[in-house]
Structure 1
Amino acid sequence: MSGSVQSVLAVRMPQVNVNDEEVTLIGWHVADGQEVAVDQPLCEIETSKAVGDVPSPAAGAVKQAAEIGDIIAIGQVFAYIGPSIEAIDAFIAAQGETSAHSVVGVAPDSSRVGAVDATAGAIEMARKYGLDLAAVPASGRVRRSDVERFIAEKGLVAPAVRATTAHDVFGPPPALKDKVVDQGPLPDHLRSIGEHLARTQSQLVVAHVAMDVCAKGAADWIESRRKAGVMTGPIPVLLHAAAAAIAAEPRLRQFRLGGHAYSYRDVDVAFTARSGDGRLFTPVVRGVDRPGLDDLAKECARLGMAVFRGNLTVADMSGACMTISVLSDHPVRFHVGLQNAWQSAILTAGAVHDEVRMEEGRPVSVPVMTLTLSYDHGLMDGWEAATALNAAKSCIEAIRP
């Protein structure tokens, strides 16, 4: 294989949102054959929660491997970048990968498309109509538009296929048929979150540790900042504590995959935020081990406002090593969170409540909140998790206005 062919990069769709296994391509910023620079926006995608750009991981000529409207799985090739289109074509021919990167739910069929240079959208359309892509006229790569034109010219009709859903197969048991009412399909964001969390939890050995924390200093800090006009709350406090926990037990920034442990380079931590229409988002605060509480508060306010306005980007929700979650608007003593994909830990806190403690022989009312650390027992044991949680506790109790 020549040097120019070896320098070709097959660009795979990155994990842009922990709750999605696939994204929709809604636009290209770079045309076929056009040059692109590193980190220049390559294409625009839509996840279940946001619209954002995918930056180019390399510089060079671009060859598109997907069309607008295609559903692309995480890890699927959607473009090639190389020194020239000729080098990319040679790379594809040598690798034999072109038709293997089909749209989600479309299995490659070598008897039909293996020898045809076609986009994922064209392959999907051909399978729907039972077409041999070799019969579709095209100038170069067969695209969805070529297949659509061929279908229109021939007056073809897609065969009727009744989709079988889990509801069709299972449904409620007969004894409940007259006692329940079908409320219809789940909203896409709830279905996506449920499926994602179910898959993630099946890969973890989930365990939990909890501790009560004196929150007086933290509560005073929050109150002082609010009086100064800063929009803040317990989220920056918990991010600060998460950094301390990770410093005490670095394996909190790891996750297990295929018998290997992988560690994030940076201490980027996500927090849960609820939008006005009830959707759950996980914006990411970068480098929480570096800034102070005031800087964390400013970044949380920026991201929180982006959630409220609906302009949170894909980049704002990617790459976290762990997640924090706070339920402080209701009198919840504690709650146990569920880890996100590619993470092994989540730190949660309930609402602050008053407890009576003895200090110097006298009963004193102290504001307390309960921290819960959910972790992967396949990476650490309970003693190590408790060590990390105690570091978070000490961090919070050391906060002063």
Structure 2
Amino acid sequence: MATDVTVPTLGESITEATLGQWLKKPGDPIKADEPIASLETDKVALEVPSPVAGVMGDQLVAEGATVEVGAVIARIEAAAGAPAKENAGGPPASTPVNPKGAGENVEPRTDEAPADEAPAEADEGASLTLSPAVRRAVLEHHVDPSKIKGTGKDGRLTKDDVLAAAKAQQDGAPSAPATQAPAQGAQSPAPAAGPSPAASQGERREERVRMTRLRQTIASRLKEAQNTAAILTTFNDVDMSAVMEARARYKDLFEKKHGIRLGFMGFFVKAAALAARDVPSVNASIDGDEIVYHDYLDVSVAVSAPNGLVVPVVRDADRMSFAEIEKKIADFGKRAKDGSLTMDDMKGGTFTISNGGVFGSLLSTPIINPPQSAVLGMHRIEERPVVQGGQIVARPMMYLALSYDHRLIDGREAVTFLVRMKEALEDPTRLLIDL
């Protein structure tokens, strides 16, 4: 008897999603609650678990198709069915799972793999469940996922794990997965030279890839912000000497006591909370012909994920300690890479901080995240000559950019907000005594 697998509830006001990828093939053995498919919604990617243990049956929806909440997308056959019992007495190589991640639906064959190699690989590969981003990285870099130790939740592979394994594979002696090039590279005399075969020199190629639902939503919301809000950006620079000195002095004690590294984001979130008290319009929003002021600061922190930029929310950030802020942001970053952020993590937000400096950005004009009215852009720290006391000295400087909705926030208020942040960051004692 087959059990239907339906699209779960996706969150408030979300009624449909895109089936990103099937994580199991027909005939694959499945455990209860094991992910069998990934869905992409407007905000996050999530996995659909199997309601029962058994064998993967019919897949009723193709990858890339739009599905509604409650729709039946697959069926799970009873574990006692033929696909599960045929291999009971044979070698595990008959399991129809491709541990190399080659992306091909290979039919089970019990007469091809050597008996001394197949059992270990099949058992190890059968337990692997790869997210879409990880599976794509495996295919691109030709690595064996069964030989990579996962650092994600429950030991699952992340994209960084695959990239690290690929780099190690390139630095060392070529291994079997790396040198077994696909058919199109068979004519290349030097497979290790790179992913592009020599025969493709001079060719002009194009590739069309359908935008993910998340990317479509990002594009739509950013364009909506430009069309709706009167966006303007103001800048200031900050001498980061005091913050860097405080981090260097207390980082070991901080990590020993709280179990988390003392980063820059804690300082910036606290400084933003302090500045928002003096300039409350930066933390407000427009609703029709009314202005909504918030007596709390929920900071949306822009985090890079495999499928695009996501903005999980640090709630009540103005009431949190440095350690609580750092732990929350570190957790968001890890879960963004694993693809385990939830819809609740994304809801709300009254102000956004985007740190382009981690990618090397010197200056930018960030776009606000509706219905918010302002976004702070952080950038890289670099030594620049500044004049202090009549002397030209080198100081670690960072440019700050505040993009804001000019319908609500005047230029004077935007400049005042950045000045308050600059004062707090250049003299962190202000953060402690609330000045």
How high is the TM-score relative to the length of structure 2? Answer: 0.51
Alpha-carbon distance in 1 for matches of 2:249, 2:311: 27
Q: 1:352 deviation in Å?
A: 0.6
CA contact (8 A) 2:41 2:213 kept: no
Which deviates more, 377-386 or 253-262? Answer: 253-262
Instruction: Classify 1:48/1:302 alpha carbon distance in 2 versus 1 (closer, same or farther; 3 Å).
Output: closer
Query: Who is 2:381 aligned against?
Result: 352
Alpha-carbon distance in 1 for matches of 2:399, 2:69: 49
Residue in structure 2 matching 1:209, options 224, 230, 234: 234
Identity across aligned pairs (percent)?
A: 24
Instruction: Classify 1:67/1:293 alpha carbon distance in 2 versus 1 (closer, same or farther; 3 Å).
Output: closer
Query: Who is 1:145 aligned against?
Result: none
Residue in structure 2 matching 1:195, options 220, 245, 258: 220
Q: 1:318 deviation in Å?
A: 1.2
Amino acid at match of 2:70: I
Alpha-carbon distance in 1 for matches of 2:262, 2:16: 33
Instruction: Classify 1:223/1:336 alpha carbon distance in 2 versus 1 (closer, same or farther; 3 Å).
Output: farther
CA contact (8 A) 1:268 1:286 kept: yes
Whether 2:44 is the aligned partner of 1:49: answer yes
Alpha-carbon distance in 1 for matches of 2:291, 2:218: 24
CA contact (8 A) 2:234 2:415 kept: yes
Unaligned regions of 5+ residues in structure 2, if any?
1-10, 20-38, 48-67, 73-203
CA contact (8 A) 2:314 2:328 kept: yes
Unaligned regions of 5+ residues in structure 1, if any?
1-12, 16-20, 27-43, 53-65, 71-178
Amino acid at match of 1:358: V
Whether 2:273 is the aligned partner of 1:243: answer yes
SS at match of 1:202: helix
Amino acid at match of 1:197: L
CA contact (8 A) 1:214 1:397 kept: yes
SS at match of 1:302: helix
Residue in structure 1 matching 2:333, options 288, 291, 304: 304
Query: Who is 1:314 aligned against?
Result: 343
Please give the residue correspondences for 1:2-401 in structure 2 after superposition, counting only pairs within 5 Å: 14=12, 23-24=16-17, 47-51=42-46, 68-69=70-71, 181=206, 183-224=208-249, 226-228=251-253, 229=255, 230-275=260-305, 277-399=306-428
SS at match of 2:365: coil
Alpha-carbon distance in 2 for matches of 1:22, 1:382: 40
Q: 1:25 deviation in Å?
A: 11
Q: Which has the higher contact order (CA 8 A, sep 6+)?
A: 1
Query: Who is 1:36 aligned against?
Result: none
Amino acid at match of 1:270: S
Q: 1:361 deviation in Å?
A: 3.8
Q: 1:243 deviation in Å?
A: 0.9
How high is the TM-score relative to the length of structure 1? Answer: 0.55
SS at match of 2:272: helix
Instruction: Classify 1:330/1:214 alpha carbon distance in 2 versus 1 (closer, same or farther; 3 Å).
Output: same
Alpha-carbon distance in 2 for matches of 1:226, 1:328: 20
SS at match of 1:364: strand
CA RMSD of aligned residues (A): 3.3
Q: 1:232 deviation in Å?
A: 4.5
Q: How many residues align?
A: 248
